[in-house]
Amino acid sequence: MEIVGGLANIYACDTEISSIIDDELAYAGYSIQELMNNDASFEEVIFLLWYRHLPTQDELATFQQELKDWSSISGEVEACLRIQTRQNLHPMSVLRTTVSLLGVFDPYAEENSEKSAKIQSLSLQAKMPTIVAAFSRLRKGLNPIQPRNDLGFTANFLYMLTGEEPTATQVKALNQALVLHADHELNASTFASRVSASTLSDVYSCVTTAIGTLKGSLHGGANERVFDMLEEIYNNGTAAEYLQKKLDSKEKIMGFGHRVYKTVDPRQSYLKEMAYQLTHDTEDARWYDISVEIEEYIRDARGLIPNVDFYSATVYHVLGIESDLFTLIFAMSRVSGWLAHIKEQRENNSLIRPRSRYIGPSGQVYIPIDKR
């Protein structure tokens, strides 16, 4: 058997959900450029990933209302969030536990019918921003804000987070970030969700598995550490000094390089432009300026490309999102892709069960414990 470390460049399944070909990301055949240049809404993209076609106007209106109908969380879930704010947990641990908890309060959580799976998917997609916003407010000693029926998915999240109705520019910025993070072929968390789905486990378990995988530092959290880097440079010196020191000690520069993309991450240019628009002529322009310095230095020194995490850190910060919540925003978007892959796995299922190659000793002889 040939062993390929990390299963790099190994095809594990067929999919109609997303593709990465020649450094171009596409959802169900629609390139990211096509979706972004036509201002596709995040709700349209969720629908596209789930059903593999863009919605009609009526389909979109119905889908948007379904998401709104499922967006509130119960008093029991809110009470559990309050408890978790006092446990000094990482926010990703809170999200993982709370998503699992949703299954406890869902009387149909153990049903595997197509109808139940759709309801569970709608509930998870709709409640994710409500959970993140509620947790953010609760740990500050503030009460959660209920979602509004007159606001879309992105605007509702920003409203629940801050208590203020967001500007059109803010809504567009977050909408773009959510669209760009919605799916990314067979990344680690998506693969984990498909492995879970292949066992015919319930939707809540599959998504909880994905969140647990995203929590790992080699998958999620890079944008959080990007902003830590920006702050450290701003407070302690120049970008060149900081970066050269990191490079000399062979430390990884967060937000650069990618396992799949070789020449460009097609998502980062949109976030770079949005970071500029959000910070231009404000005191937050310093974060954009430092980011540009870092990008130029790393390109010249190592030939590395910025990935989607790099400029998203500035975008999220300027939107008022705390840095330790950045990965939760990732999950709030990527759950759309996870749910699409869970659905697709179930439609043509085969248990995912690879083999391992044993390299330990053989022919061992048991020795009684009193003679060892």
* Packed helices 326-347 and 188-198: angle between N→C axes, nearest 10 degrees: 40
User: What is the 3-class SS of 74-88, one letter each residue?
Assistant: CHHHHHHHHHHCCCC
Q: Which of 196, 182, 200 is nearest to 30 (CA)?
A: 182
210 contacts 190 by C-beta, under 8 angstroms: yes
Burial 246-261 (b: 16+ CB within 10 A, else e): eeeeeeebbbbbbeeb
CA 70 to CA 119: how far, in whole Å? 9
Q: Which two tokens stand for residue 176?
A: 């773009």
CA 307 to CA 223: how far, in whole Å? 10
Token look-up 């430092």 returns 290
Catalytically annotated residues: 258, 309
Q: Which two tokens stand for residue 256?
A: 């650069």
Token look-up 């009470």 returns 79
Phi/psi class of residue 367: alpha, beta or left (left: φ > 0; alpha: ψ in -120 to 50)?
beta
* Packed helices 91-104 and 326-347: angle between N→C axes, nearest 10 degrees: 40
